[in-house]
Amino acid sequence: MGVHEGFDIFSIMSMLFPVFFILVFGIILFTIFKGLKQWSHNNKQPRLNVDAVVVSKRTQVSGGGNDSHSSTWYYVTFQVESGDRMELAVNGSEYGLLAECDFGELVFQGTRYHGFTRRQQTN
């Protein structure tokens, strides 16, 4: 058997590398396009002020192993008078100020959270 017969890792890698490069580049472009589409959609929506109740809160953490950087995303679910619920991303300081069962005025635009003003609920 000669050196050029059988399994040649270099010829396989020269074919697979462009495929992986195109795949990763495609995923990055898709993510950017999806974000721009959501941003544009939110800009076209009216800014609404509605009465709402905080029904739940959650966080999502990624990374953070072996002294590496971690990222935390904060989400709050609001229920409006019609009974519909929506989960909106909020920043960490807003997340800390909100508690389940808080009642008030929610301000949002599409999926974009603009604020929540707590009020006493009147029955």
pLDDT tens, position by position, 1-37: 455 555 677 777 788 888 899 999 999 999 999 999 9
> Distance between CA 46 and CA 77 in Å, rounded?
20
Check residue 53 and give its pLDDT.
97
This prediction's pTM: 0.74
* 8 Å CB contact between 51 and 105: yes
Q: At residue 117, does pLDDT exceed 60? A: yes
Using CA of residue 93, residue 95, residue 100, residue 102, what is the dihedral sign? Answer: positive
